[in-house]
Amino acid sequence: MSGCLAANDWICPEYVRSRAQELTDATVQHVWITGVSVLIGIAVAFPLALLVRARPAWAGPVLGLTTVLYAIPSLAMFSLLLPLFGLSAALVVTGLVLYSLTILVRNILAGLAAVPAETREAARGMGYGPARLLWEVELPLALPALLAGVRMATVSTVALTTVGALVDYGGLGTLITGGLKSFFKAQVLTASVLCVLLAVTADLLLLGLQRLLTPWTRASRTRVPPPVAEQQPVPDDAAGAGGAGQRGTGSPGGARYAGGGTWNTGGSGRRDGAGKAG
């Protein structure tokens, strides 16, 4: 046995090499459970959001129910679902779908509500029906908020998937739980780091997808404002006698010239600091 394994160190490259297949299998299971849960969550949240928008009176009950589901502790949630699904991956996926609804429904509603009413009216005036209006006008404009919700739901689901270790379907969470029970430091740290890397990678990938699908959001943030016209400087002597001459006669009294002085409109007929005026 390698020195770091025998010493039960937190950082142990030998553990990664000797358990590479186990780590790979746990990571694949983690990604699979997360991906399926988020996709099903979107498929359930989207009709719910459309229902709430069509019937505003249902907004309170639907949003309240999703909030209550999110507040249920994971152990209690899995216990409630156990009679329906048994000890299976479906149990974990169903629980994660229910947890994701509160984030997804609210963000879909926020995105649809952000579509300007003038845009909807213009589309209706062009003959767009409800379905075409939704798919070709409203959804593209709602994409920034919708994708932001998907990002939050995905990162949250990556973390919550570890709780599936309670029923032995937790991906990397199963390794973390097993390592904690046996106080296997390298296993706990390695699985935890992989879980964090999964969350960061998923967030960055979805952020890239969001920027790719919504380029106009970046354009609006980087748009340069039009230049402001500079105010012409007021001549130094405008408030004095020269200014009075300007207002009364239109003469250049008090204006500064390149010769070095200022025209004196007091009637002396000379230029201060520049010799005789003639």
Could you tell me which residues come within 8 angstroms of residue 152 by beta carbon, excluding any fewer than 6 positions away? 103, 107
Q: What's the chain's average pLDDT?
A: 81
Q: What is the pTM of this model?
A: 0.73
Sign of the Cα pseudo-torsion (18, 21, 24, 29, in order): negative
The pLDDT value recorded for residue 75 is 87
In a domain, 102, yes or no: yes
Domain limits for position 141: 13-218
In a domain, 271, yes or no: no
The pLDDT value recorded for residue 242 is 46
H helix intervals, the chain: 3-7, 13-18, 20-54, 59-71, 74-85, 89-113, 117-125, 130-133, 139-161, 172-182, 185-213, 215-222, 241-249
In a domain, 90, yes or no: yes
> What pLDDT digit, counting tens, does each position of 56-88 carry?
899 999 999 999 999 999 889 998 999 999 888
**Least confident segment among 27-41, 69-83, 255-269:** 255-269
Alpha-carbon gap, residue 220 to 28, rounded angstroms: 39
Sign of the Cα pseudo-torsion (37, 173, 207, 66, in order): positive
> What pLDDT digit, counting tens, does each position of 86-107 carry?
888 999 999 999 999 999 999 9
In a domain, 125, yes or no: yes
* CA-to-CA dists, residue 81 to 37, 48, 64, 85, 90, angstroms: 15, 21, 20, 6, 10
Alpha-carbon gap, residue 64 to 102, rounded angstroms: 9
Q: What is the CATH number of the domain that holds 168?
A: 1.10.3720.10
The pLDDT value recorded for residue 167 is 85
Q: Which two tokens stand for residue 182?
A: 């046996």
> What pLDDT digit, counting tens, does each position of 178-220 carry?
988 888 888 999 999 999 999 999 999 999 998 888 887 665 5
Q: Is it the case that residue 234 has pLDDT exceeding 70? A: no
The pLDDT value recorded for residue 245 is 42
